[in-house]
Amino acid sequence: MVSGTLQASHLDRGLGLLDATATNVLVMIGVGPFLTIPFMLAAMEGPHILYAWIAGAILALCDGLVYAQLGAALPGSGGPYVYLREAYKPFGIGRLMGFLFIFQTMLVAPLTIASGAVGFADYLGVFWTLRPVVHNLLAAAVSLAMTALLYRHIKDVGRLSVVMLVGVGLTVGWVIVAGLTRFSLSQAFRYPPSAFQFDRALVTRTGAVALLAMYNYGGYNNVCNIAEEVRDARRNVPRAIVLSLVVVVALYVVMSTVIIGVVPWTEAQQSRAIASLLIERTMGHRAAIVATGLILFVTVSSLYGLILGYSRIPFAAAREGQFFRAFARVHPTKHFPHVSLVTIGVSAVPFCFLSLGQIINWLVLLQIVSQFVWQCAGVILLRRYREDVPQPFVMWLYPAPALVALALWIYVFVSAPVSGMLFAVGVTAAGVACYFAFDR
């Protein structure tokens, strides 16, 4: 680490509302639902995964409003790094909270990127049977390829994001429309008796499956990481968050319902390429191959948005002297943080050799402990104790959404496997120890 504040590095505000929303949606709609819907069905022991989608949507909307309020108040690069640092500054732990976020980001960012890359390789198995080493090397290669594609000016990144968004919309739309041609309403909502027994078992299962739903919804905060490059950020950041959430929640609920209405849930839970199976049932094998290719395009588009957002976080910390100086470097002509971008992209490569299930659990639980719960409280603290920070947007029904999000994050955490909880707490404790060691 370095001390002091570095001279501010300039980033261009080249993203409008459409571009900003596109970067969010690209991150949110990846290969996740196409891989996790079967796992969700198996965990719920029935087709009533709608419960988990709804629980996740409520949490995502409440947490999204937290990000919207913080993003409008502090519209700079780094997102939560800035929010946590400023919200807890009056209590003398602002630097600690900011450091903890950077500490977990250097693990969360490559894990998140690797999850998309591993999902890409998993779905590629529909075309070919891949040996494990080839599978892992392909995942690593696609991470590096998306990093190289981002090595350009932010205006070019924004244009390419919109192009990718069109491809993503066409893919998801095709899956939904194809499914509606053979959709059975009675099959989709043929819930077992246990689905109507709201006992402890159902609540626990819903919480565990909601963790997968939140993994799929994740990315609505991506625009906060690049807010410094968004025009009129105080208005467009909240709008991009809410718009992307409404669009993606609707798409996921409709798509999963349509899938179950075509492929019986007992069969769907065994599939590892559920969207391709649906297209094959409705339009034939050749169409299924085309659909698989489009889903792979969706995956790389999501990776594109992920690497873009995460690369701005170490840059923001380094620019203020709170992280290694090299991460504050900006490309001399293209005006983007090239050292941070390349480092984040390359660091994902080792994690491409882990399983998708392990990556997802580590990701969500670590972020709950080290970031999400503190941020829900932080939005209230910032409004109450930081009158010097303008807040042009205040969440609807303030502070109820923040309190609901806080309670639901805790609920999701305690519903998770004990091993995952211990991992998350252990990493956070290590971050605290590292902070005091560096500070000394």
Question: pLDDT tens digits for 46-58?
Answer: 999 999 999 999 9
What is the Cα–Cα distance from 272 to 266, expressed in whole angstroms? 13
Element (H, E) at 217: helix 200-217
Q: Which of 398, 396, 303 is nearest to 351 (CA)?
A: 303
Question: pLDDT tens digits for 51-78?
Answer: 999 999 999 999 999 999 999 999 887 7
List, run by run, the mean pLDDT of 10-residue segments along the chain (440 residues). Answer: 47 86 84 84 93 94 96 87 94 92 89 88 79 92 92 80 82 92 94 89 89 88 89 94 95 94 94 88 90 86 84 85 85 87 93 83 88 95 94 95 95 86 93 84
Q: Mapping DSSP to helix (H, G, I), strand (E, B) and coil, where does residue 64 land?
A: helix
Q: What is the DSSP string of 313-336?
A: HHHHHHHTTSS-GGGG---TTT-S
Q: Which of 358, 300, 338 is nearest to 143 (CA)?
A: 300
**Tokens 């972020």, residue located:** 367
Question: pLDDT tens digits for 371-415?
Answer: 999 999 999 999 999 999 999 999 999 999 999 999 999 988 988
Q: Which of 134, 116, 121 is nearest to 273 (CA)?
A: 121
The model carries a pTM of: 0.84
Q: What is the DSSP letter of 369?
A: I
